[in-house]
């Protein structure tokens, strides 16, 4: 049994747009045509591929077909570019990235290389520990991730280590940590977390002998505003060097924490994806320490 590429791309469009009606508009066909294509695809595969929720979502079997459809779209766009055929609406290159990379070093290489590819990128911000899951589900073509083991069907290469240091504003230190970052003081000094998945501050607290569960916690789910919240004295937190520069901050001591990052991408022969990967690796090489 062969999966028709056009039907797989239709399923991908439905998942991307969130509904059959929106996919029909994007594909310039009727909703009835989209429904018929999905019915044919599910009949051919013998499996339910789409959960008709709001928004719709693929089943585990549907994720595999969506991934295939997106890979075909990527290869078609590359072939059209090589042949000098103008693309009507090239499929975007979906990339998952952690917030700190997005805020510090990743946008520059993308801005340098993507315009020359005649492509667009859709960036999906996610915790670096979870970006590989998006890659495995076929939701993105590449990811900046902490996962060193290759996702099935993907190639992986190390980028380097982002090094974080615990810091706080001078006025915050005067108020909350006048005798230093002792376990007793850290139990009551407010800390800033990025979100519920952010464990950097908790890891640092454990390393210095403090209880990670004791301190009151703020959440600021934006990398730039996270750094600004620390600089303004809302709480203490861990920042990479590039976000400490230009701010008046006091180092709290304790260990520096490294987060090893890797680039993972689909194992397909795509000139555009290769060009982006090369630019990202080159930028990472000068942005932070080697693995």
Beta strands at 121-125 and 93-97: parallel, antiparallel or unpaired: parallel
* Alpha carbon 270 to chain centroid, angstroms: 20
Distance of alpha carbon 155 from alpha carbon 120, whole angstroms:
22
Q: CA quadruple 35, 37, 39, 42: dihedral positive or negative?
A: negative
Could you tell me the end-to-end alpha-carbon distance of the chain, in angstroms, rounded to an integer?
Answer: 44
pLDDT at position 104 over 70 = yes
> Looking at residues 61-90, what average pLDDT do you find?
81
Q: How confident is the model over 194-223, as pLDDT tens digits?
A: 999 999 999 999 999 999 999 999 999 999
Percent of the chain predicted with pLDDT > 90: 76
Cα dihedral 23/26/27/33 (nearest 10) = 40
Query: Token pair of 102, please?
Result: 């997005």
Candidate from 46-60, 80-94, 112-126, 168-182 with smallest mean pLDDT: 80-94
Q: pLDDT band for position 146 (50/70/90)? A: very high
Q: What is the pLDDT of residue 56?
A: 92
Question: What is the SS3 assignment for 90?
Answer: coil
Which residue, among 204, 206, 224, has the nearest Cα to 103 in the 3D structure? 224
pLDDT at position 86 over 80 = no
Partners of 240 in the beta sheet? 164
Q: What is the pLDDT of residue 119?
A: 83
Q: What is the pLDDT of residue 219?
A: 97
Q: How confident is the model over 261-290, as pLDDT tens digits?
A: 999 999 988 888 999 999 999 999 998 765
Q: pLDDT band for position 291 (50/70/90)? A: low
pLDDT at position 14 over 70 = yes
Q: What is the pLDDT of residue 288?
A: 78
Instruction: Give the distance between the most distant pair of CA atoms in the chain.
Output: 71
Question: What is the SS3 assignment for 180?
Answer: coil
Query: Token pair of 271, please?
Result: 């000139």
Number of H helices, E strands in the chain: 13, 11
Domains and CATH numbers, the chain: 1-86 (1.10.10.10), 162-257 (3.40.190.10)
Candidate from 23-32, 56-65, 105-114, 129-138 with smallest mean pLDDT: 129-138
Question: What is the SS3 assignment for 194?
Answer: coil
Partners of 239 in the beta sheet? 165
Q: What is the pLDDT of residue 252?
A: 98
Query: Token pair of 150, please?
Result: 């290759």
Q: pLDDT band for position 83 (50/70/90)? A: confident
Whether 66 and 58 have beta carbons less than 8 Å apart is answered as yes
For the chain, give the mean pLDDT. Answer: 92
> Looking at residues 216-244, what average pLDDT do you find?
96
Q: What are phi and psi of 269, to 5 degrees?
A: -85, 80
Q: Tokens 């439905």 correspond to what residue?
A: 14
What is the DSSP secondary-structure string of 37-89?
HHHHHHHHHTS--EE--SS-EE-HHHHHHHHHHHHHHHHHHHHHHHHTPPPSS
């Amino acid at each position: 049994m062969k999966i028709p590429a056009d039907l797989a791309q239709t399923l991908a469009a439905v998942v991307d747009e969130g509904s059959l009606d929106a996919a029909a508009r994007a594909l310039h066909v009727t909703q009835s045509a989209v429904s018929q294509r999905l019915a044919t695809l599910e009949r051919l595969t013998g499996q339910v591929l789409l959960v008709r929720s709001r928004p719709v979502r693929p089943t585990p079997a549907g994720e595999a077909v969506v991934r295939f459809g997106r890979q075909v779209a990527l290869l078609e766009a590359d072939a059209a570019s090589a042949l000098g055929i103008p693309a009507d609406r090239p499929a975007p290159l979906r990339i998952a990235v952690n917030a700190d990379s997005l805020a510090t070093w990743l946008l520059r290489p993308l801005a340098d290389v993507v315009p020359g590819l005649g492509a667009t990128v859709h960036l999906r911000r996610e915790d670096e520990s979870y970006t590989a899951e998006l890659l495995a589900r076929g939701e993105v073509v590449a990811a900046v991730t902490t996962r060193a083991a290759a996702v099935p069907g993907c190639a992986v290469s190390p980028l380097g280590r982002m090094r974080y240091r615990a810091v706080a504003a001078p006025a915050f230190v005067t108020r909350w940590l006048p005798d230093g970052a002792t376990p007793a003081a850290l139990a009551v000094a407010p800390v800033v977390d990025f979100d519920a998945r952010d464990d950097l501050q908790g890891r640092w607290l454990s390393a210095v002998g403090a209880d990670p569960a004791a301190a009151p916690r703020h959440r600021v789910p934006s990398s730039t505003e996270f750094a600004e919240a620390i600089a303004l004295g809302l709480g203490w937190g861990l920042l990479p060097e590039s976000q400490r520069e230009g701010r008046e901050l006091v180092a709290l001591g304790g260990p520096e924490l490294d987060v090893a990052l890797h680039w993972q991408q689909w194992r397909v022969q795509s000139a555009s994806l290769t060009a982006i990967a090369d630019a990202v690796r080159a930028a990472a090489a000068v942005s932070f320490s080697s693995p």
